[in-house]
């Protein structure tokens, strides 16, 4: 066996293992695509040591994607849990909590804090309002969803107790 054959035999496995680097399992440090909304596999909870103590009423006047004390409205655990519970369909939940929607400032509607939005360039035909008690009581939460293609001139209003159709769009103020 020549000296070159011995060197090639020793180097080949090392070269092959180096060539395969970076093609194994992902390291988990890849950024999520814009507008990613995780599936509802488990209820969201605040990260340990980062309790969400800001009252929901502090969001009034802000857009849903504006961070108030570091957390956006739909990223609040209690709001995310209401969405998962009252909007079991993933497509509307993505529209509501996604970043591509056209939104208005959060407003008060009686004792509820409400966030209204609509599908970009399609506000008349697809819109929604998520309303939750200022004290974050999910029993008082309401989600209105309007999709003219499937609902015509009505909207679906959902609470923990029931879902019903009502005439018209979802409230925007």
- Note down pLDDT in tens along the chain; length 173 residues: 555 555 555 555 555 455 555 544 444 444 445 555 555 555 555 565 556 678 899 999 999 999 998 889 998 888 999 999 999 888 899 889 988 899 999 999 999 999 999 999 999 999 999 999 988 788 899 999 999 999 999 999 999 999 999 999 999 98
- The pLDDT of residue 129 is 96
pTM (2 decimals)? 0.70
- The pLDDT of residue 49 is 55
- d(CA 93, CA 44) in angstroms, rounded, equals 14
- What DSSP element (H or E) covers 79? helix 77-86
- Ordered by start, the domain boundaries in the chain are 56-167
E strand spans, the chain? 102-103, 107-109, 112-118, 126-133, 142-147, 154-158, 163-167
CB-side neighbour CA atoms (13 Å) of 58: 13
Q: Are 102 and 117 in contact (CB under 8 A)?
A: yes
- The pLDDT of residue 136 is 79
- The pLDDT of residue 111 is 92
Question: What secondary structure does DSSP assign to 105-124, as a single string?
Answer: --EEETTEEEEEEE-TT-TT
Kindly report the CATH class assigned to 56-167: alpha beta
């Amino acid at each position: 066996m020549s000296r070159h054959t011995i060197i090639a035999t020793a180097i080949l496995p090392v070269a092959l293992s180096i060539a395969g680097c970076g093609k194994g399992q992902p390291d988990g440090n890849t950024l999520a695509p814009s507008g990613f909304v995780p599936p509802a596999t488990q209820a969201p909870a605040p990260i340990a040591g980062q309790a969400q103590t800001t009252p929901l009423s502090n969001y009034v006047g802000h857009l849903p994607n504006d961070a108030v004390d570091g957390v956006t409205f739909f990223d609040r655990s209690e709001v995310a849990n209401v969405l998962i519970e009252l909007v079991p369909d993933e497509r509307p939940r993505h529209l509501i909590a996604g970043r591509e929607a056209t939104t208005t400032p959060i407003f008060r509607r009686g004792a509820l804090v409400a966030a209204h939005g609509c599908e970009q360039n399609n506000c008349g035909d697809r819109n929604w309002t998520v309303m939750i008690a200022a004290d974050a009581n999910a029993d008082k939460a309401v989600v209105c969803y309007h999709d003219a293609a499937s609902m015509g001139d009505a909207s679906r209003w959902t609470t923990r107790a029931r879902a019903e159709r009502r005439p018209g769009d979802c409230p925007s103020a």
